[in-house]
Chains A and B, each alone.
Chain A
Amino acid sequence: MRGALVLGVLLLLSAAVWCHDASPPGKPALIGCRSPDKETFTCWWTPGSPGGLPTVHRLYYHRAESKDVRECPDYTSGGSNSCYFDKSQTTLWVEYELTVVATNALGNATSNTLRIDVMNVVRPYPPKNVVLQVKQSNDNPYLFIGWQSPLNKTKTYGWVTIKYQLRVRPEKSKEWKIYDTDLQRNFSLHTVDPKVTYEVEVRCALDHSTWSEWSTTASIKIPGSSQKDRLLWVLMLVSLIPLLTAVCALVVKRNSVKQCLLPPVPGPKIIGVDPRLLKSGRAEDVVSALFGNQKLANMKARTEETEEFISVSDSRDWLLPDERLSEKVRSLIIPNSFVFGAKTQSFELEKAADGKENPVLDRSSSRPGDGRTPLSPAPELQSLRASKDAASRSAGQCPAHSYVDIPTPEDCRTPEATSDDYSRVKGVHGEDVLLEEERVPPCPDAQIQPANVASDYSRVAEVNSDTTVLLQNLPVCKERQHHDAGWTVGKKPEPPGTEVSTGSSTQLVGSGYVDSVPNFC
């Protein structure tokens, strides 16, 4: 007997030594319960500190109005540390009192008492299989969202009425937009933008229970191309066709377009100057271009002389001593009928200046029908004469250039073509200036400028009145036509209604200035 007792004590001690961590179990705690379908419910607890020994947990419950304590019918269906109540065990609108007892070899521990009404713990699970689809409606994309009830049955407005709620947001946004769908298990969202990814979540509630958790997020990207984009592309292509046509037309007709947009600029044409010679750059070429065939002589003297010619201007502001002179000068006809160059000519001029009117100045009266150009007395010719005197002094034997003012150096020779476009004055007879026979001048080469450039001017056929001079219809070279700007036809520029000429005269409109190209021989 005593031996057995000692043995028992020894065993206990050894057991105590062996498992020195063993203790009665800690107190478990009931967390809560959940009914996902208003027909069943599950309760969970957390075990207390383990006693080191195998512990058994048991749940006991009783309904409020009865004293009948029952144990949990199912410990496994709900997972670990749970108790599952099936349909037959579930009663609504009745209070349950639940407790959990943890037991191990050394003792037990009882949890808190949990009172629940199943009605209050109804909370469904989230909806299942959320499906997203992009569909088209009138060429506009919309998002179709579909899901399934968490409950197995399809009838949802009998014992249980389920309602849904979904939320949508664009991927990068943080704000959800919530939509209620009540009993419907699908939803169409039309306010979607193309090329945007959307996230969707759905949840549900039974009657007016607590909402379920949000379902797993489903996302979808709305495709970018829409009918609008396609239309845009079509419009762009269509608008390109006329553009291409225009470009082709331009390419084909580029020459005429060029002609239109960039008309050929007339090259500079200085009378007596050959631009080809200028271009070559050689000194002798430059000189010959500028001075023509005449020899260079007395450059110094020439420079002085050049200042002595008449300055003619079409502006009234020009400073001239004599107002009348300025007017006359403006309408001065130059060499057409007045050949100036030889001694004889200057003499003739002087002669004419003596007391006769100078018909060169267009105011002079002219007899119509005359083939000659009458000279009218011109007091203004005094100054003219003065300059001519100076010119003749220095001119020497220089041949005709046909410029009134141009002083000719001594060794000037008359170029052969001089006489082509001009009529030589044979002599002055009374009031008339007799001209030589006129010849139709040949058209010289445009590029080769004879010294006198006589071909640029047209001859006066007749001076009609104070305001009119008739010109001869000379075959003026086409290339020269644009050079006529410097010569007047002998009309006053002011009166616009003035008849310039009649018949077959060439109309020349000019600014009235003398082409004062210094002619260096």
Chain B
Amino acid sequence: MLAPESKQLLLVLDAEVLCSALMCKAVDIPDLLDRASQRSDKLHSLSNMLALELESDLPAIGRVTMPRPAMCHTSSLLTPNDKEQALQVSESTLMSLARSLLKAWQYPVGVLSNSANLLPHQSKASISNKLQELQEHSRNLEDGLDVLSGKMGPTAQILSTLPYRGGSDLGQDKMSKLINFNFLLSCLRRDSHKIDSFLKVLRCRAANMQPNLC
């Protein structure tokens, strides 16, 4: 007697096996990449808006004392930083990098979302909403990229660990909270831009005969 959940899982697995056996291309890679790019675009849009919103209210002293972007927990990951490099790196590598970055932000985004209500900011309600939306998009993209990477080869499956060491608390006092919030959001903005750019390059490369024109 199988539990209902396992029954469902079996069905899904059967479907997958069936699908691959019959060489069915129900949803092919370019299409998946297109969907993934759309979601990453939305993710970047949200993080961009948040970062700009908080940055405008940061006092000058905060800007000065704010950690440099090199201090972001994802800085250690080596990624292509211009177009040539992005076109030279293999698709699987790009996918792996995108997935790693995304995974690295799963926890910090949660922290941000939880701390939003305690933020000493006038529009914290709107900030909180955006963060929740961002979190959802992030989860969806992660699931989608997992499926994609499964079709792309073993290299795409490699995930670099980028641990977040910021802790669940963003600071004790009001200024610390603001500074840390700003810092995290600036890091997030950078990384979401990376993810978006990589996925779009992948999309272009997968759909074009002349990838060097991407």
**Given A39-B83, A91-B82, A159-B214, 20 other A-B residues pairs in contact with their CB atoms under 8 A:** A64-B70, A65-B70, A87-B82, A92-B81, A92-B82, A94-B81, A119-B190, A155-B213, A158-B201, A158-B204, A158-B205, A158-B214, A159-B83, A159-B87, A159-B197, A159-B200, A159-B204, A161-B200, A207-B193, A208-B44
Minimum CB–CB distance for B70 against chain A, Å: 5
B214 CB contact (under 8 Å) in A65, A92, A95, A155: A155
Whether B213 contacts A208 by the Cβ 8 Å rule is: no
A154 to B204, CA, bound (A): 12
- Which residues in A have some Cβ–Cβ distance to B below 8 Å? 38-39, 64-65, 87, 90-95, 117, 119, 153-155, 157-159, 161, 207-208
Whether A157 contacts B82 by the Cβ 8 Å rule is: no
Total number of residue pairs linking A and B with CB closer than 8 Å: 63
Whether B44 contacts A155 by the Cβ 8 Å rule is: no
Q: Which residue of A lies closest to B49 (CB)?
A: A208
The answer to whether B84 has its CB under 8 Å from any CB of chain A is yes
CB pairs A–B below 8 angstroms (6 shown): A39-B82, A64-B69, A93-B190, A155-B204, A155-B213, A159-B200
Interface of A is mostly: loop
The answer to whether B86 has its CB under 8 Å from any CB of chain A is yes
Q: Which residues from 40 to 97 on chain B have a C-beta closer than 8 Å to any C-beta of chain A?
A: 41, 44-45, 48, 68-70, 79, 81-84, 86-87
User: A91-B82, A207-B196 in contact; A159/B44 too (CB < 8 A)?
Assistant: no
Interface of B is mostly: helix
Whether A95 contacts B44 by the Cβ 8 Å rule is: no
Whether A93 contacts B84 by the Cβ 8 Å rule is: no
Minimum CB–CB distance for A68 against chain B, Å: 15
Whether A95 contacts B68 by the Cβ 8 Å rule is: yes
**Chain A residues with CB below 8 A from B194, complex form:** 93
Interface centre among B82, B86, B194, B197 (most CB of A within 10 A): B82
Q: Which residue of A lies closest to B51 (CB)?
A: A120
**Chain A residues with CB below 8 A from B84, complex form:** 87
User: A64-B69, A155-B213, A161-B200 in contact; A90/B82 too (CB < 8 A)?
Assistant: yes
Whether A207 contacts B69 by the Cβ 8 Å rule is: no
Interface centre among B44, B68, B196, B214 (most CB of A within 10 A): B214
Q: Which residue of B lies closest to A89 (CB)?
A: B82
Q: Which residue of B lies closest to A153 (CB)?
A: B213
Minimum CB–CB distance for B86 against chain A, Å: 6
A213 to B83, CA, bound (A): 25
A157 to B196, CA, bound (A): 11
A91 to B82, CA, bound (A): 6
- Which residues in B have some Cβ–Cβ distance to A below 8 Å? 41, 44-45, 48, 68-70, 79, 81-84, 86-87, 190, 193-194, 196-197, 200-201, 203-205, 208, 213-214
A119 CB contact (under 8 Å) in B70, B83, B193, B201: B193
**Chain A residues with CB below 8 A from B81, complex form:** 91-94
A90 to B84, CA, bound (A): 11
User: A64-B69, A64-B70, A95-B70 in contact; A157/B44 too (CB < 8 A)?
Assistant: no
Minimum CB–CB distance for A496 against chain B, Å: 98
**Chain A residues with CB below 8 A from B204, complex form:** 155, 157-159
A494 to B46, CA, bound (A): 105
A117 to B193, CA, bound (A): 12
A328 to B10, CA, bound (A): 128
**Chain A residues with CB below 8 A from B41, complex form:** 161, 207-208
Whether B48 contacts A208 by the Cβ 8 Å rule is: yes
A208 to B87, CA, bound (A): 21
Whether A208 contacts B208 by the Cβ 8 Å rule is: no
**Chain B residues with CB below 8 A from A38, complex form:** 83
**Chain B residues with CB below 8 A from A207, complex form:** 41, 44, 193, 196-197
**Chain A residues with CB below 8 A from B208, complex form:** 155
A208 to B81, CA, bound (A): 17
Whether A158 contacts B190 by the Cβ 8 Å rule is: no
Minimum CB–CB distance for A115 against chain B, Å: 8
**Chain A residues with CB below 8 A from B45, complex form:** 208
Whether A158 contacts B200 by the Cβ 8 Å rule is: yes
A38 to B193, CA, bound (A): 12
**Chain A residues with CB below 8 A from B200, complex form:** 157-159, 161
Minimum CB–CB distance for B151 against chain A, Å: 21
**Chain A residues with CB below 8 A from B48, complex form:** 208
A157 to B190, CA, bound (A): 19
Whether A159 contacts B201 by the Cβ 8 Å rule is: yes
**Chain B residues with CB below 8 A from A39, complex form:** 82-83
Whether A158 contacts B213 by the Cβ 8 Å rule is: yes
A90 to B87, CA, bound (A): 15
Whether B69 contacts A117 by the Cβ 8 Å rule is: yes
Whether A159 contacts B86 by the Cβ 8 Å rule is: yes
Interface centre among A64, A157, A208 (most CB of B within 10 A): A208
A251 to B87, CA, bound (A): 90
Whether A93 contacts B214 by the Cβ 8 Å rule is: no
**Chain A residues with CB below 8 A from B196, complex form:** 207
**Chain B residues with CB below 8 A from A208, complex form:** 41, 44-45, 48
Minimum CB–CB distance for B50 against chain A, Å: 12
**Chain B residues with CB below 8 A from A117, complex form:** 69, 190
A39 to B190, CA, bound (A): 16
Q: Which residue of A lies closest to B202 (CB)?
A: A158
Minimum CB–CB distance for A180 against chain B, Å: 13
Minimum CB–CB distance for B65 against chain A, Å: 14
**Chain B residues with CB below 8 A from A155, complex form:** 204, 208, 213-214
